[in-house]
Amino acid sequence: MNNLQVVIDAGHGGTDPGAVSSSGVREKDLTLMISQYMYEEFQKRGVPVTSIRSTDETISPTERVNRVLEAYGDNPNVVVISNHINAAGSGIQGAEGAEVIYALRDNSNLASNILTALGNAGQKMRKFYQRRLPSDTSKDYYFMHRNTGSKTHPVIVEYGFIDNPEDLAKIQNNYKEYVDAVVDAVIATYEGETIPSLPGSGNYYVVQNGDSLWKIANQYGITVDELKRLNNLTSNNLTVGQILELPNQNNSNTSSNTYTVKSGDSLWKIANQYGITVDELKRLNNLTSNNLTVGQILELPNQNNSNTSSNTYTVKSGDSLWKIANQYGITVNELKTLNNLTSDNLTVGQVLKIPNQNNSNTSSNTYTVKAGDSLWNIANKYGITVNKLKTLNGLTSDNLSIGQVLKVPASGNTYIVKSGDSLWSIANRYGTTVSELKTLNNLTSNSLMIGQVLNLP
């Protein structure tokens, strides 16, 4: 990682609990849990990392800043990640999603990458932004931005809302996926890369200077009321960097999907992301040049063919053939053969074919144990008891080892929820309706969790 150095700040602590949920969950405990796992992940990647708080201790703002600067000094290779959980406050219900706040001295690249990566990991994206001190607008509002030198790159990451039970449950269940996303984003940004939105992760628009709801709604052929309803907006006010969700324009009767051009995109980058050539992309969109404009909608080939025998995986920063093969329970050689690869080299955004693992004729599937797994969370993922899982695999203890392959029951046709999935996209993929899918799985809401197993018709 060259000279990248990371300082992790677990927000609040000790006598300062931070925000507290109605069920008694404290922000300080969540930020410590998130920060401890983040510390381990940066260590695994070989990145020098220091954690400001590793226990439940009270730290004053002055001491917190001192610890940041004492770690690696005030230098441009230092990224400071201050982990927090948001709270909407009384009188506001249903606020959800992640926000990233960056310092006035920085550009938006790191904050944008982190928020996009969290979106790819399944969390709703709200906005990335800067905040100024009202009494002196030349200064940052937050001391973690204002007082941590002039060269470091501090970001405050708000992972979701503690006073929204659904959002809190998402954080508790998926915090490792969210942390992995943040780690990937930091490393990718330091290496000069941009985190692409994964296919299927939803259509989003980043508010730019001069935008209005009318302008954006008009651009995408919808009404202002539709745009406000989709984003739970109660006013017409927008902020630069705010993320707006757009209606999904992938109609199951059409033969193509669409992609909305974002800042930094190129035809080569988009074509590579979707496994096609630049010429194919230009031909499909009747383009005569390589020029693109932000907000332009490009048609893409339909990749959701029910007759295909494989799915796809988009390579992220930090991936390796071994890691991807292990994730899908196959060998590196199988993965290379399936993709006609002659070397182990991968590029971020590269689309790999992976074997279709939803085979209705098998009596059992397999699961490859990953770091942090336990018999309880695996059994819970597949809707069985720990004893049943142990019996199925002839286990006499609860110990697991990374890479161990476990048998898991197959309940007819099943689908494992991935980052960016929604009930609509899954129902559309398998030729059913959202209502049928919810009835089949006894679901009372549209919320999904990464790794959740759904029964299919």
CB 65 within 8 A of CB 140: no
Q: What is the pLDDT of residue 413?
A: 64
Residues 217, 186, single domain; the answer is no
Q: What is the pLDDT of residue 27?
A: 97
Q: Which of 357, 372, 398 is where one domain is finished?
A: 357
User: What is this structure's pTM?
Assistant: 0.52
Residues 176, 262, single domain; the answer is no
Q: What is the pLDDT of residue 346?
A: 81
Q: Report if residue 285 sits inside a domain.
A: yes
* Segments in the chain below pLDDT 50: 1, 199-200, 249-256, 303-310, 357-364, 411-412
Residues 276, 167, single domain; the answer is no
How many other CB atoms sit within 10 Å of the CB of residue 67? 16
Q: How many DSSP H helices and E strands does the chain contain?
A: 15, 18
Distance from C-alpha of 268 to C-alpha of 263, rounded to nearest angstrom: 14
Residues 88, 120, single domain; the answer is yes
Q: Which of 138, 162, 190 is where one domain is finished?
A: 190
CB 157 within 8 A of CB 114: yes
- pLDDT, one tens digit per residue, over 307-365 is 333 467 777 767 788 777 766 767 777 788 777 788 888 877 677 877 764 433 333 46
Residues 156, 16, single domain; the answer is yes
Residues 73, 91, single domain; the answer is yes
The β-bridge partners of 405 are: 368
Q: Report if residue 413 sits inside a domain.
A: no
CATH number at residue 12: 3.40.630.40
Residues 134, 155, single domain; the answer is yes
Q: Report if residue 373 sits inside a domain.
A: no
CATH number at residue 288: 3.10.350.10
Q: What is the pLDDT of residue 254?
A: 34
Q: Report if residue 450 sits inside a domain.
A: no
Residues 18, 145, single domain; the answer is yes
Q: Report if residue 42 sits inside a domain.
A: yes
Residues 242, 333, single domain; the answer is no
172 token code pair: 């508790």
Domain of 335?
A: 305-357
Q: Which of 135, 155, 190 is where one domain is finished?
A: 190
Q: Report if residue 370 sits inside a domain.
A: no
Q: Report if residue 67 sits inside a domain.
A: yes
How many other CB atoms sit within 10 Å of the CB of residue 130? 19
Distance from C-alpha of 316 to C-alpha of 344, rounded to nearest angstrom: 15
Residues 255, 336, single domain; the answer is no
Residues 21, 106, single domain; the answer is yes
Q: What's the structural domain count of the chain?
A: 3
Residues 250, 101, single domain; the answer is no
Q: What is the pLDDT of residue 359?
A: 38
Q: Report if residue 387 sits inside a domain.
A: no
